[in-house]
Amino acid sequence: MSDLTRFAASTSLSVRAWRPLPIPWAAIVAVPLLACGTRPATPAAGPPTSTAAAVAPASPRCAAHEFHQFDFWAGDWDVYDRDAPATPAARAHVDPVVGGCALREVYEQNDGLVGESTTFYDSSNKTWHHTWVTNRGQVLEIAGTTKGDAVVLQGMHRGGNAPDKIVRMEWKVEKDGVRETADSSMDAGVTWKPMFDMVFRRHVREAAQGSAAIAK
């Protein structure tokens, strides 16, 4: 298997401070009154509502075509090293968030690496941005544009014990899914070395559902 590590390194975790909220005495007094009186009316049941739609309705500010050039990456995926196409190396979920103005990726690799990324389009400078962080303490921030049928982003990779380096990543649609590749440079972009080459294929269940929908 090639270097399918997606930027692994060590890190420590932090926990948000927590403290209890003050107890409203009026609410405590009201409890026995409710127990002895009439039960509050239950709201009438309405049609089921999608949680995602309720939390983040589509934003008209992100309706332009440019904001959706990366939508081909959204989905539930099995991720394969291109050199070992028979066995998934990871599972990934990529979902539109904040009203379709960004994509959020949750990536879980078989060796315990977990990463999350946020990808979004900045219309002020016509640039795509991708920020990636893992449970092993490394961070990648890259930016760029579409080139032909691919999205190509580049930036500095920092973290862990390895020296900083430039990383260039590319996503493009292929017949069997989405191909994601990465190359790195230690000499300011004069020479490049392959880091990984992987393919996102629709998860078996999602692919089966898509085939069933087509058959109908």
What CATH number is given to the structural domain containing 174? 2.40.128.20
- The pLDDT assigned to 209 comes to 59
89-117 per-position pLDDT tens digit? 999 999 999 999 999 999 999 999 999 99
Confidence of residue 151 (pLDDT cuts 50, 70, 90): very high
Structural domain includes residue 150: yes
Tell me which residue of 146, 147, 138 sits closest to 167, measured CA to CA: 138
- The pLDDT assigned to 75 comes to 97
Structural domain includes residue 185: yes
For residue 26, which phi and psi values (nearest 5 degrees)? -60, -35
Please name the helix (run of DSSP H) or strand (run of DSSP E) that holds residue 185, with its range, or none.
strand 177-185
Structural domain includes residue 91: yes
Structural domain includes residue 1: no
Torsion over CA: 75, 79, 80, 82 (sign)? positive
For 76, the domain range is: 56-215
81, pLDDT greater than 70 = yes
Residue 148: Cβ-neighbour burial (10 angstroms; 0-12, 13-18, 19+)? exposed
Torsion over CA: 71, 117, 84, 4 (sign)? positive
Structural domain includes residue 20: no
Structural domain includes residue 10: no
Confidence of residue 147 (pLDDT cuts 50, 70, 90): very high
- The pLDDT assigned to 106 comes to 98
d(CA 58, CA 52): 10
Torsion over CA: 142, 146, 148, 151 (sign)? positive
- The pLDDT assigned to 18 comes to 30
Question: Higher confidence at residue 151 or residue 35?
Answer: 151
145, pLDDT greater than 60 = yes
125, pLDDT greater than 70 = yes
Q: Per DSSP, which regions of 44-176 are E strands?
A: 75-81, 90-97, 102-109, 114-122, 127-134, 139-147, 150-158, 165-174
- The pLDDT assigned to 140 comes to 92
175-206 per-position pLDDT tens digit? 889 999 999 999 999 999 999 999 999 998 75
Structural domain includes residue 119: yes
Q: Report the b/e string of 20-38 with b at 16+ CB within 10 A.
A: eeeeeeeeeeeeeeeeeee
The arithmetic mean of pLDDT across residues 135-154, rounded, is: 94
How many domains does the chain fold into? 1
28-75 per-position pLDDT tens digit? 334 333 333 443 443 444 433 333 333 457 889 999 999 999 999 999
Residue with tokens 């390194």: 9
